[in-house]
Structure 1
């Protein structure tokens, strides 16, 4: 598959060009999924002249198979569990809760680390654009959307630079709109679409949030 983006900054600029209908509106807020979505969302928020804030999501990996997503949790107590993966895993309810509890502690720590004393932006009644660096399984995005619905936004837009064909169906009615810059038929993972897909460090997240 051909590399689509130089890095997350490049991807953010490309994605922003697909979101110009939301530019300059005071009811729009851009929420970045930490950590990979932050550089992408920063470019989107800058282009749209919109507020930027953070939504922390933690993937729930299977014991011994951390690469396989059982589901995800997000700020605000939202939880998404893939029923098919759960059945196939053979995990007991107690084992599942232990995984959730461990990741919940880490989520709280990360949220405090990134946000510091910065207050969360107002969500209720606003148009929220949720940005990540791509969608693969959709687990993290589904958890994020569940958390957002509790905050009563007027409209939710999921915006990503790249996703596999059919990704919009996974998101379903959890979002009101799905915007994807590129959806390659030979999709083999989000990382393979970037020339530079190095991990985004904690300090980078803090710096971009402060700069917003």
Structure 2
């Protein structure tokens, strides 16, 4: 296995990102698995850690197959995977119902993880988006597009492992991509970790609290 667990992968990813420490970046994690990785990156870069809440919209009969993704916000951003929608013959009403279901889960997670905690402004900043890996790229693409709307100075995608073709497709969405391992024949993200346990809500809350204690709140925090 390339990685023992998410902590080791995060440490190795952080080493590859050290040149951005002087940029005073903001690190955004895709929960839940991405938070363990991002916490290591934020610690190494002395950067604030926050969440970008994205949910995959799964095909009803095959929920692991992404037909799109949705990102939280005042005007939630939806990304559709038209090829999957057409192949699975998913109607607009079915797709919209799935969107509403995932948006409700996003709101639950925002309340659970974030509450009233301050969020750093992203405009003009170097923003590093971190996950534990990429599968289809649907949730990653949605996250990057949502962040781009906030006008960051530089947008970086950083992951330990990903399919080669997904990285190619995402190059237009980020200014830079840092990926430690990529494979043409991929499978699932968990195949590349010896320990790929499901990260709990409590682990997410604990990692965010530790990050808040480590890094002073940036000027301009909301």
The answer to whether the superposition gives a TM-score over 0.5 is yes
Q: Is the 8 A contact 1:25 1:50 kept in 2?
A: no
Q: CA RMSD in A?
A: 1.1
Mapped to 1, the partners of 2:26 and 2:91 lie a distance apart of 39
Which residue of structure 1 lines up, in the alignment, with residue 130 of structure 2? 131
Q: How does 1:14-53 map to 2 (within 5 A)?
A: 14-26=12-24, 28-53=25-50
Give the TM-score, by structure 1 length.
Answer: 0.95
Alpha-carbon distance between aligned partners in 2 of 1:75 and 1:10, rounded to the nearest angstrom: 29
Q: Tell me, which stretches of 5 or more residues in structure 1 are unaligned? A: none
Match of 2:72 in 1: 75
d(CA) in 1 for partners of 2:165 and 2:39?
26
User: 1:29, 1:52 within 8 Å by CA — same for their partners in 2?
Assistant: yes
Equivalent residue number for residue 6 of structure 1: 4
Structure 1 residues 111-126: aligned runs within 5 Å: 111-126=110-125
1:89 aligned partner: 88
Aligned to 2:57, the other structure's residue is in SS state: strand
Q: How far off is 1:185 after superposition?
A: 4.4
Q: Secondary structure at the match of 1:94?
A: helix
Aligned residue among 46, 56, 59 for 2:56: 59
Supply the distance in 2 between the matched residues of 1:30 and 1:115 (Cα, whole angstroms): 15
Structure 1 stretches of 4+ with a deviation exceeding 3 A read none
Q: What is the SS of the residue equivalent to 2:52?
A: strand
**Residues matched between the structures, number:** 209
Judge conservation of contact 2:23–2:126 (CA < 8 Å) in 1: no
Summarize the alignment of residues 183-194 of structure 1 with structure 2, pairs less than 5 Å apart.
Answer: 183-194=182-193
Deviation of residue 167 (structure 1)?
Answer: 2.5
CA distance in 1, matches of 2:102, 2:184: 33
Gaps of 5+ in 2: 212-222
1:79·1:146 contact (CA, 8 Å) conserved in 2?
A: no
Q: Deviation per CA, 1:74-116, whole angstroms, max 9, x where unpaired?
A: 1221111111001112121111111101111111111111001
1:24–1:49 Cα contact (<8 Å) kept: no
**In structure 1, how many angstroms separate the alpha carbons of the residues matched to 2:27 and 2:116?**
19
Report the Cα distance in structure 2 between the residues aligned to 1:143 and 1:57, rounded to whole angstroms: 7
